[in-house]
């Protein structure tokens, strides 16, 4: 993950925005990152990552990007799986919207 990659897809909040917000406002709790354009208040997928950003920045661990341990593409793919929208690689999954539409 890079600084300009999106962390909260629901509200289009990048890692850079979250890191800068955390540095500037010094929130006591990770949940306060929701004050940064609503991050984490949608589907909930990004909440564990908001906690990582908060911990990393407040404890000055450096290199926030590496705390995610995955590429932006992998992050996006896992979110889709989390939301039941994507392929988890098992060959199973929803993806039958057309079938369900036909049944109605």
Binding footprint of ligand FES on the chain (CB under 6 A): 8-10, 39-46
Hey, which residues does 6 pair with through a beta bridge?
14
Comparison of 9 and 31: residue with beta carbon closer to ligand FES: 9
Please state the separation of Cα 101 from the chain's center in Å.
30
Given the complex with ligand FES, which of 44 and 73 has the nearer CB atom? 44
Q: Which one, 85 or 96, has the nearer CB to ligand FES?
A: 85
As measured in angstroms, the least distance from the Cβ of 50 to ligand FES is: 8
């Amino acid at each position: 993950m890079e600084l300009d990659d999106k962390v909260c897809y629901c509200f289009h909040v990048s890692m850079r925005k979250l890191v800068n917000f955390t540095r500037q406002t010094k929130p006591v709790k990770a949940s306060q990152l929701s004050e940064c354009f609503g991050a984490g208040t949608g589907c909930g997928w990004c909440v564990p990552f908001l906690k990582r950003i908060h911990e990393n920045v407040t404890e000055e661990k450096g290199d926030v990007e590496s705390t995610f341990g995955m590429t932006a593409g992998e992050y996006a793919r896992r979110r889709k799986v989390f939301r039941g929208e994507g392929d988890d690689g098992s060959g199973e999954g929803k993806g039958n919207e057309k079938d369900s539409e036909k049944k109605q």
